[in-house]
Amino acid sequence: MRLPMSPTDSMFLLGETREHPMHVGGLVMFEPPEGRTASDLREMFVDAIARSDGEDAAPLWRKRAVRSPATFGQWAWEDDPSFDLEYHVRFTALPRPGSTTELRELVSRLHAPLLDRARALWEMYLIEGLDDGRYGLYMKMHHALADGVGAMRLLRRALSSDPDETGMPAPWAVPDTSDPQRSVVGAAIEMPSTAMRAARGVISEALGLVPTIIGTVDRAMHDRGGSLSLAAPQTILNVPIAGSRRFAARAWRLERLRMVAKASDSTLNDVVLAMCSGALRAFLAERDSLPDESLVAMVPVALRNGKDSGNDLGVLMCSLGTDRPETAQRLAGVRTSMSEGKKSMSGMSTVSRLAASAVGVAPLALGVLTGNRVLSRPGFNVIISNVPGPDTPLYWNGARVDAVYPLSVPLDGQALNITCTSTDGRIAFGLTACRRTVPDLGTLLDHLDAELVALEHAVGISPGVDVAEAGF
């Protein structure tokens, strides 16, 4: 039984190359419950795999992408007939005593390779050996299967807010009844064999959309955000990329950003963008590579249309104000740019919204369709996403989630991706970059930290205190 794939999702497969795999990732840091160690938690995973016949894995975790004459050459989903849980769930360790530096190196390496397309498009790694007693769960999932928001929803459902809850199922065995992907896949099981005829209709419709999407993307890039230049300046980040990755991450107390937002009548997202603006300005300036024009960020925003499906995102183009020397000026610029963008999007038709949901992959889509690897002048310089997470402590069988660090997808012409996730009162910035293009992500973290302090100064509040952390 095969189910069609949405055109947006299939673009993530079509546009994938060995230089830019299209999967997202997340590193969840766990604190073992009192008196238990990482090995105890490994045993729980090993037991869950041993008990499983594969049938307990939820449909989302079992489906694979297929393309054949039977699907008219288009990508579709089907249940993996040889689903192999032991392949997907992996156990590894750091050389002891393991530090967060080594964990970051390991996760950078794990994030680089392509997923096996013959299988369900995910891998999970339980990582032991950190000398502080925590353990990491790195999760890798194809963008065609879930975006950052979808992945956070899956994570949230696999966890409990009750520290004493035990007997919780493994993440892949959590029933995904609230997931629309599930209802699609679930429905498929009851569909008669003639369902491919219906699927064919959906595929044709999807194909028809592509020119609309490209056209809308083009218009969107030129019309939206009145204060924006028509395109972004060329920077050292906007070049072709290679297949290796560099990952760095740090978390700050969410309250610090909230205070800055409140004192400046901005949103939390504006503060995130202003931090990135100041940090990127400093990062580029110290490399004598700061352009005269402001950098433009592509900022995915949730499309609030009552649905809750896979890659249901819209996009704003935000002028980051990196040409402005003062922190307060940059924050004001970001606020104006985002506010104008939102007004423009609220006036969009349903068709435009649908088309805009493909903007995230526009450079890719254009590249696939035109054969150009990198546009001579980028439409934007950097993708900055903020994926909201739960605000309370979360647990898996008593192990507390200490932090969640997101990893995303650098692209040709977009060598750096910044994705933020907030959990339990902290906001984590995950920087995923082409290892060859962006040599020193650590300094960018330091600049983010300095910019948060500068923002606190600029709005007249005293700098907040954060747990000192080297990277994580």
Other CB atoms within 10 Å distance of the CB of residue 436? 15
Nearer to its own copies by Cβ, of 92 and 178: the residue is: 92
Burial of 450 (0-12, 13-18, 19+ CB in 10 A): middle
**Nearest approach, Cβ of residue 104 and its own copies (Å):** 13
CA distances from 320 to 177, 260, 298, 333, 382 (A): 40, 17, 10, 7, 10
Q: What separation in angstroms does the CA of 31 have from each of 101, 128, 130, 239? A: 18, 12, 11, 39
Active site residue 143: yes
CB under 8 Å to 156, separation ≥6 — which residues? 389, 390, 394
Contact between 423 and 394 (Cβ < 8 Å): yes
Q: Is 104 left (phi over 0), alpha (psi -120 to 50) or beta?
A: alpha
User: What gap in Å lies between CA 423 and CA 390, rounded to an integer?
Assistant: 5
Catalytic residue among 20, 88, 143, 447: 143
d(CA 125, CA 138): 5
Residue closer to its own copies, measured from CB, 116 or 218: 116
- CB of 118: closest distance to its own copies in angstroms? 3
> Which is nearest to 140 in space by CA: 128, 156, 159, 126?
126
Of the pair 37, 229, the CB lying nearest its own copies is at 37
Min separation Cβ 69 and its own copies, Å: 14
The nearer residue to its own copies, 42 or 253, going by C-beta atoms, is 42
Cα first-last separation, the chain = 44
Nearer to its own copies, 98 or 389 (CB): 98
Identify which of residues 1 and 242 has a Cβ nearer to its own copies in the complex: 242
Binding site for its own copies (CB under 8 A): 18-19, 39, 42, 82, 84, 87, 90-96, 98, 102, 105-106, 109, 112-114, 116-119, 126, 128-129, 242-244, 435-436
> In the bound complex, what is the minimum distance in angstroms from residue 211's beta carbon to its own copies?
29
Amino acid at 382: V
CB of 386 to its own copies, least distance (A): 30
Q: Which is nearer to its own copies, 120 or 316 (CB)?
A: 120
Strand extents, DSSP E, 63-114: 63-66, 76-79, 89-98
Q: Whose Cβ is closer to its own copies: residue 182's or residue 436's?
A: 436
Length of the chain: 472
Residue 82 CB, nearest approach to its own copies (Å): 6
DSSP state at residue 424: T
Pairing status of strand 382-387 against strand 135-142:
unpaired
Give the 3-state secondary structure of 253-303. Answer: EHHHHHHHHHHHCCCHHHHHHHHHHHHHHHHHHCCCCCCCCCCEEEEEEEC
**Which class for 123: exposed (0-12), middle (13-18), buried (19 or more C-beta within 10 A)?**
buried
Minimum CB distance to its own copies smaller for 83 or for 252: 83
Min separation Cβ 452 and its own copies, Å: 30
Comparing CA positions, the residue from 58, 166, 110, 171 lying closest to residue 405 is 110
Rounded least distance, CB 38 to its own copies, Å: 8
d(CA 366, CA 374): 9
Tell me how far, at minimum, the Cβ of 318 lies from its own copies, in Å.
31
Residues 6+ apart with CB under 8 A from 62: 54, 79, 80, 83, 120
The answer to whether the CB of 241 falls within 8 A of the CB of 415 is yes
The catalytic residues are 143
